[in-house]
Amino acid sequence: MTDVQGDAPARSQYVEFWNSVLVPKFVRWRHILVGGLTLHSGKIFPSLQVGKGDKVIDAGCGFGDTAIELARLVGPTGSVLAVDCCDGFLEYGRRDARAAGIGNVTFLAADVQTYPFQPVHDFCFSRFGTQFFENPVAGLRNMRASLKPGGIMTMVVWRGITDNPWLGHAKNIVLEFLPPPGESAQTCGPGPFSMADTGVVTKQLEIAGYKTFSSSRSMRKCSWARTSRTPRPFSLPSGLLARSIAKPENSRKSAMTRLQMRSNQRWENIGAPTA
């Protein structure tokens, strides 16, 4: 396992928000987030066109769990470059790779949109990372630039918020008590559902230079707790709602209480569909 640092240009406002606001929240609920997200990547991993000895990029690798799985797929003669703009996430990947004895993965703190990749990779993967690109076409183009001729890119993105009540339900309740954040609020970027429109994403891929592409859908149920006490604190601090709850304490408490009550009513086993 190798740890390298990319060049350190000035952070964009989105990258700064991720590092200063969202990383602590995601770290707190890492066990839920990684478990839920793995339901989707786990479905497609058996069909990934990745072979022994391949050079792979994991773009927006987060906590590094997919990078470690990719490293196992390519074997000791292959390599994985795991890239994320949040070093707070990468620390977990480095630790888990060491614990697992995985030595063919490199964790790089850098912005996938601008890092000068070399076109030597066979495969580029991203699970729920590309939706947050400040400039989606630029990010997708740079991922393509990392591939050698004939290379393949696979990305997993969320469908619309109506297909994801694990976040949509919480947001609707919060908005009953609090106003939308407004145009000047800090943000993590375009947001988790910015690539929900297949037609828009197809056009973005075309402009970014991809020649052939296909898509498929996945629906999984994410269970986030064994007791009814977890949905309240988990749902509200998550990225989609992080801006909304920075409001007067009484309103925040009312929204949290209402969210817990409705979560218990709707999902008895404390989970919800994700897509």
CATH number for position 20? 3.40.50.150
Dihedral of CA 94/128/140/23: which sign?
Answer: negative
For residue 150, the one-letter residue type is G
pLDDT digits (tens, 9 = 90+) for 157-173: 988 888 877 777 777 77
Residue 23, pLDDT above cutoff 50 = yes
Percent of the chain exceeding pLDDT 70 equals 75
Residue 229, pLDDT above cutoff 50 = no
Same domain, 154 and 184: no
The pLDDT value recorded for residue 188 is 77
Sheet-wide strand order for 79-84: 2-5, 105-109, 79-84, 55-59, 121-127, 147-156
Residue 252, pLDDT above cutoff 70 = no
Taking all residues of the chain, what is their mean pLDDT, rounded to a whole number?
Answer: 81
Number of domains in the chain: 2
The pLDDT value recorded for residue 160 is 85
Same domain, 143 and 242: no
Same domain, 53 and 149: yes
Same domain, 154 and 179: no
Query: What's the CA gap between 98 and 275, in Å, rounded?
Result: 32
The pLDDT value recorded for residue 228 is 45
19 and 86 Cβ atoms separated by less than 8 Å: yes
Expressed as residue numbers, the domain containing 84 is 2-159+190-216
pLDDT digits (tens, 9 = 90+) for 76-135: 999 999 999 999 999 999 999 999 999 999 999 999 999 999 999 999 999 999 999 999
Same domain, 48 and 168: no
Same domain, 98 and 148: yes
Interior/surface letters 222-259, b for 16+ CB within 10 angstroms, e for the rest: bbbbeeeebbbebbbbbbbbbbbbeeeeebbebbbeeb
Rounded to two decimals, the pTM is: 0.80
235: confidence class by pLDDT, cuts 50, 70, 90? very low
Of 31-40, 214-223, 252-261, give the lowest mean pLDDT range. Answer: 252-261
pLDDT digits (tens, 9 = 90+) for 34-81: 877 777 778 889 999 999 999 999 999 999 999 999 999 999 999 999
Interior/surface letters 116-152, b for 16+ CB within 10 angstroms, e for the rest: ebeeebbbbbbbbbbbbbeebbebbbbbbbbbeeebb
Query: What's the CA gap between 178 and 13, in Å, rounded?
Result: 24
Decide: residue 154, CB within 10 A, 0-12 exposed, 13-18 middle, 19+ buried: middle
The pLDDT value recorded for residue 239 is 46
Same domain, 88 and 145: yes
Same domain, 144 and 231: no
- Token pair for residue 111? 């912005």
Residue for token digits 């050698």? 148
3-state secondary structure of 168: helix
